[in-house]
Chain A
């Protein structure tokens, strides 16, 4: 079945550091790929998404590129802020799949220190 593997956390960075959170997936065909963010005490929010190979999703300074050849969707940000401290989840959904078919990774806790 489909699966998502994220880098182990927690990740601790200083403000303005470069961020990469690795995400690889196993799925048939061309799934849609997502990054969700969960701020402390809140529910998950969609951060960005990509629906086909070589697409780049971006939002709030975060980017991720859909790499079919490496089955990856790594999250990057050039300069993190304290306000980016959160848990980040990578997820996939089969092509034209429904919401119930979302498969989540285990999440990566990010802490940004001033």
Chain B
């Protein structure tokens, strides 16, 4: 199993540009999520999905869109990048449900800089 994979690893954008961060998992997990990690702060949830075709907002969703057309893939779209979106982005997946079935597996991250 490759686990959770993310591409690209690094990206530099100019303000106003758009891009898609890719995330894929091969563990047949129903639950997938996107976090951003900023200095001095813990991970903050951007969007999540409990299954194909179902997405919802997390704590900091503004400026980001997601879709979930397959169980495996959960891309994150920045429609018009802003410097405030400079961050490290992590994708995670888990079996779903509640309680002890919730261990999350994280991808290696994408470091995004918006100039």
Q: Which residues of A contact B (CB under 8 A)?
A: 4, 41-46, 51, 89, 91, 93, 96-100, 102-107
Task: Name the distance in Å between A43's Cβ and chain B's nearest Cβ.
Answer: 3
Q: Is the CB of A99 within 8 A of B31?
A: yes
Q: Is the CB of B33 within 8 A of A100?
A: yes
Q: Is the CB of B104 within 8 A of A97?
A: no
How many pairs, one residue from A and one from B, have CB atoms within 8 Å of each other in the complex?
Answer: 60
Please report the C-alpha to C-alpha distance between residue A51 and residue B103 in the assembled complex, in whole angstroms: 12
**Residues of B within 8 Å of A, CB-based: how many?**
28
**B40 at the A interface (CB under 8 A):** yes
Q: Is the CB of A43 within 8 A of B99?
A: no
Residues of A within 8 A of B102 (CB): 93, 97-99
Please report the C-alpha to C-alpha distance between residue A97 and residue B103 in the assembled complex, in whole angstroms: 12
Residues of B within 8 A of A103 (CB): 42
Task: Name the distance in Å between B9's Cβ and chain A's nearest Cβ.
Answer: 9
Which residue of A4, A41, A44, A100 contacts B106 across the interface (Cβ within 8 Å)? A44
Please report the C-alpha to C-alpha distance between residue A99 and residue B104 in the assembled complex, in whole angstroms: 7
**B108 at the A interface (CB under 8 A):** yes
Task: Name the distance in Å between B34's Cβ and chain A's nearest Cβ.
Answer: 11
